Amino acid sequence: MADCIFCMLANGEIPTATLYEDGEFRVIMDANPATKGHCLILPKAHYANIYEMPEDLTGRAFVLAKRMAGRLTEALGCDGFNLVQNNGEEAGQTVFHFHIHLIPRYKGGERIVANWTQTPLPEEWKDEVLAKLS
Ligand code: AMP
Ligand code: ZN
């Protein structure tokens, strides 16, 4: 898609630090990393978010995420790992080309990736969600 920065990065039109590439995906280093080794999986085809992504491509993206998590953990010796995938402005998405964040975590690391206050599941939420999905 014209004017999409991730289309240009994924397809090599703008050079970038690349950790992996195949016919469908490129894995690049995030320009503003949360931690050392923070990378992004980008499909070469443009889909704005997970809702637009074909299921088979989504599956392959997450298989690649699993593989990259293993490789990064082995190479960097990190102590934990976050996969983050934002969809929509409300969810924190800022670049509207599907991507998966690969975020190595380190013992004693100060930077928090995702945090929310844990509160018990309200009965009415449970009932409503179960009813709407049944
Ligand atoms: P999100 O908020 O999930 O849409 O994440 C967008 C991510 O893209 C952020 O972590 C940015 O740091 C990263 N980003 C934006 N522009 C570039 C770029 N030119 N190269 C690499 N990463 C980028
Ligand atoms: Zn794009």
Out of 94, 96, 100, 113, give the residue to mutate to test ligand 1, the one with the largest number of ligand atoms within 8 Å of its CB.
Answer: 94
pTM: 0.95
Q: pLDDT at position 1, please?
A: 82
Beta-strand relationship, 100-105 and 18-21: unpaired
- Catalytic residue, candidates 38, 46, 97, 99: 99
Q: pLDDT at position 10, please?
A: 98
Q: By percentage, how much of the chain surpasses pLDDT 70?
A: 97
3-state secondary structure of 27: strand
pLDDT, tens digit, 9 for 90 and up, residues 5-23? 999 999 999 999 999 999 9
pLDDT, tens digit, 9 for 90 and up, residues 52-78? 999 999 999 999 999 999 999 999 999
pLDDT, tens digit, 9 for 90 and up, residues 85-98? 999 999 999 999 99
- If phi > 0 it is left, if psi is from -120 to 50 it is alpha, else beta; for residue 126 that is alpha
From residue 15, give the alpha-carbon distance in Å to each of 6, 8, 36, 69. Answer: 11, 9, 20, 23
**Residue 99 bears catalytic tag:** yes
